[in-house]
Structure 1
Amino acid sequence: MNLLELPREIRDHIYGTLLAPNANRYTADDGSTVYNYSHKNLLSVNRQVYHEARRIFLELNTFVKITTPFPESKHQVAEDGVPIVAADLSAAKFTQHRLSVLIAFPLTGMRTREDTFVIHIDDLHKFCDSWFYSAADYPELNENLTLKLTLRDPLSATPLDDTPAEKNVLKSLQERLLYPFGRVKNLMRVNVTGIPEPQESVVAEMKRLMAIPLGSPVQRLRDATAHKDAGNTALMANQPLEALEHYRKAWESLFIIVKGRTRRVYGERYFEHVLTEPPFENQHGSMVRTVLRIRLVANTLLAYLKLEDWDTVIHVGMRTISIMRRGEENLEPEEEAFGQQWLAGPEMGEKAVEGRSTISSEGSSGT
């Protein structure tokens, strides 16, 4: 019995099993994800299988096609953990997307080589997070950019498809496609259009989220301090996991993303101001941020000590020691924040001694 001799319901089940997102992506231990639609040749069997399988494929997989004025955008977002489904010529020819995203410089008069790539809807929030943190590195960038979002329906009636889809994008899907852009702030202009027409309530909520301010350097430093203090309180109550969650939020307030043993630092320029509001009057924002970072590292080490996660203690501790040693030498500009006389050095020293003693005692008890 060949495929077409099976009942349609069984064929649809086969298509769904082979073409589902989870069956075609691999996530490594470090959180990086790769897509490989190895069964896409199913769409080349014949016309009938193509139309049947394509419908199931697009019902299970929603794609977003993104065009930016920056030639190397796909590499930048990939470094930020956004998996790319298609790029370059393959992306330019791609027509199976539900949302078209066009980012442009309308007033510069410059012609730049555009970069086009395709991502899965499950990763759209990662793309918008990448944009959010990149804007923290270049605070003046977004005010020169426009954003055009165009909804579309790649499913259409065909002679071999007796259940053509109505040209409609459900509200729940529109929310998944548009709400992530609420992370993007201070754009020159935002236009949302498409066929079918986007729902006004969804667009209004997206723009409401966009209007929530990024927060001044003082406000973000206040938030980081509050989360750090909350983490310290949890740590004193012997709640190290709760403490680590507070510390994670403190890092995010400083535009630093910590996931397990990896971290990405953004927003150095955002804090390069002399602060004029309490409790940081007349202090340089970068210096306040540096001290907070060092204290967060010290307290994070103590939390992992309480969890007896020795591997992570060693990893974080050795990384910190390496940076501190290099602090005595000539640092690159982006590392200079760690070389300002190590104002929190005594605190780090106490944690290092405590950690070294604890690990040593563990090693002794095991012999």
Structure 2
Amino acid sequence: MASVSLPYRPSAKPFPFLDLPREIRDKIYGELLTVAEPLHPTQKPTNSVEEEANNRPKTNRRRFNIETQILQTCHSIKAEAESILLKSNLYIKIRSRVLIMECGHIMNRNFTLAVKLEPKYYRHFKSFVVSHVINLSKPLQEDLSTWCTYIILYRDLERFCSAIAKGCPEHMRHRDLMSHIVTICDPSAGSLVPDHEPFFSRGLQEKLMAPYRAALRDVPHFTIKGAIPQDLKFAAEQEIKRPFPLDPESVIREVEHLKAEGHLYFHSSRLFFHDPTGGASEYWNEALTKIQRVMQDDNCQGIRERGGLQFLNRLSALSFDLNSDKAQDYLLCMGHAYTKRAMDKFGLKVSDSVFEAASTMNKFPGSTWRPTPQQMAELTLKSSQLPIW
């Protein structure tokens, strides 16, 4: 018997959404208004090609399309939904007045999600739980400074703090001139959520401070303000300002670990996917930044003295290897670049890495380490693969 398709006729009576239990409504609000967590890359050693293929690094996936239409239904639903929106997506506002180069380095790293706001918008954005202001204590003549405002989610705060900790050469050079003021803010104050419960529990305050306490050390000008107990504020500030308890062997182990992580990423990239972004060199750049800090920071003078000539020679050898590895990584990226502009960018990075490796001896005065003829030949070969512009 043939079926007959009847036209769809919407019911005249709307669905009684507010008659649902509050727990069910909150779950619906959460599904509509919560930004999904990213998938973090996993790089675990495996015993077979099949296992390694299944566990190969994956790019982070993030979902931005939260459904805010439900906020426009009625005042009761809007009040309930906004409460879930605030508690599910903890927004962090970052205002930065640092050197333009440094701001781009920290905020534009591909593992940090940041939305830059224009001045006319950030003044009206009040739904953040943490305000982090990075400022210069005095102007610098060598570069211009500018104010930039970014909004990130709490899930990315740990990455942001790690980026500050890793820094870049310019940031390390001016670290003592930079101040950080972190303010805990209550976004539910006022009439935004009329029936709100106390927003800041002790657990939430500790959660907001956890990424700072885990990633930051030896930051001399760091102040915490706002809705936070004095004992938690004092403990966090003291922990963040405390210098790293470094010794020569721990420095070598950390640099060698980053070098090994970079090699793992590099070989996985070659086997399973093309990574035209220089992902392996992110690890090696971090290792080189740590070496540079040990060699240039006055606070690390004791480490250099305790390590002596052997420590200096090991840092020299690691610096050469890291820059040589970077040149190889950027050569691979240049080969997979799709545009001439990308090829030129990676070609310049290859050239810079080769130059940095070749001038290693000049950066470690007093070192007796010298590259072998084979190492210099390999470095020359990498340089010869560059196109002639």
TM-score w.r.t. the length of structure 1 is 0.64
Deviations for 1:312-336, whole angstroms, at most 9, x for unmatched residues?
xxx999649979xxxxx99745543
* Residue 148 (1) aligns with residue 175 (2): no
C-alpha separation between the residues in 2 aligned to 1:335 and 1:128?
Answer: 30
295 and 215 in structure 1: CA distance in 2 versus 1, 3 angstrom threshold = farther
Task: Tell me the equivalent position of 1:237.
Answer: none
Query: What's the counterpart of residue 67 of structure 1?
Result: 95
Deviation of residue 39 (structure 1)? 0.9
Deviations 1:56-97 (A, max 9, x none): 111212111110003573664231511125533544432111
What's the CA shift for 1:151? 1.0
2:29 to 2, 9, 15: 15
Distance, in Å, in 1 between the alignment partners of 2:193 and 2:310 is: 72
Structure 1 residues 259, 123: CA separation in 2 closer, same or farther (over 3 Å shift)?
farther
Amino acid in the other structure paired with 2:81: A
Structure 1 position 99 matched with structure 2 position 127? no
Change (3 A) 1:129 1:92: farther
The residue number in structure 1 matching 2:293 is 270
- Residue in structure 1 matched with residue 239 of structure 2 by the alignment: 209
Q: 1:44 aligns with which of 40, 60, 72?
A: 72
Partner of residue 353, structure 1? none
* 1:118 matched residue in structure 2: 151
Alpha-carbon offset, residue 113 of structure 1:
2.7
SS of the residue corresponding to residue 196 of structure 2 reads coil
Identity of aligned residues (%): 15
Shift of 1:206: 1.5
The Cα shift of 1:187 comes to 4.2
Task: Find the counterpart in structure 2 of residue 223 from structure 1.
Answer: 250
Q: Matched residues in 2 for 1:148 and 1:54: separation?
A: 27
Could you say what secondary structure the match of 2:95 adopts? strand
- Indicate if the aligned counterparts of 2:220 and 2:241 stay in contact, CA closer than 8 A: no
Segments of 5+ residues of structure 1 without an aligned counterpart are 229-246, 299-314, 324-328, 350-367
Which of 355, 359, 366 is 1:336 aligned to?
A: 355
1:67 and 1:101 in contact (8 A); partners too: yes
SS of structure 2 residue aligned to 1:138: helix
CA distance in 2, matches of 1:45, 1:125: 35
The aligned runs of 1:1-367 (5 Å cut-off) are 1-2=14-15, 4-7=17-20, 8-22=22-36, 30-70=58-98, 71=100, 73=103, 76-85=106-115, 87-89=117-119, 90-108=121-139, 112-134=145-167, 138-156=171-189, 158=191, 161=194, 163-166=195-198, 168-182=199-213, 183-187=215-219, 189-194=221-226, 196=227, 198-214=228-244, 219=247, 221-226=248-253, 247-248=256-257, 251=259, 260-261=265-266, 262=279, 263-264=281-282, 265-266=285-286, 267=289, 269-272=292-295, 276-281=304-309, 285=312, 288-292=314-318, 319=329, 332-339=351-358, 343=371
| TM superposition shift of 1:157 | 6.1
Q: Mark the CA change 1:340 to 1:212 in structure 2 (over 3 Å): closer, same or farther.
A: same
One-letter amino acid matched to 1:17: E
Query: Letter of the aligned partner of 1:37 in structure 2?
Result: N
d(CA) in 1 for partners of 2:356, 2:292: 11
Question: Residues 16 and 57 of structure 1 are in contact (CA less than 8 Å); yes or no, is this contact kept in structure 2?
Answer: yes
Number of aligned positions between the proteins:
297
Mapped partners of 2:170, 2:249: distance in 1? 19
Letter paired with 2:176: E
Given that residues 21 and 61 in structure 1 are in contact (C-alpha distance below 8 angstroms), is that contact kept between their aligned partners in structure 2? yes
Over the residues paired in the alignment, what is the CA RMSD in angstroms?
A: 4.4
Unaligned runs of 5+ in 2: 1-13, 42-56, 267-278, 334-347, 361-369, 378-389
Q: Is the 8 A contact 2:133 2:180 kept in 1?
A: yes
Preserved contact between residue 106 and residue 146 of structure 1 (Cα < 8 Å): yes
* Mapped partners of 1:297, 1:333: distance in 2: 9
Deviation at 1:139, TM superposition (A): 2.5
CA distance in 2, matches of 1:134, 1:64: 20
Counterpart-to-counterpart distance in 2, 1:340 and 1:107: 33
1:315-366 CA distance string (max 9 Å, x none): 999649979xxxxx997455434335972676999xxxxxxxxxxxxxxxxx
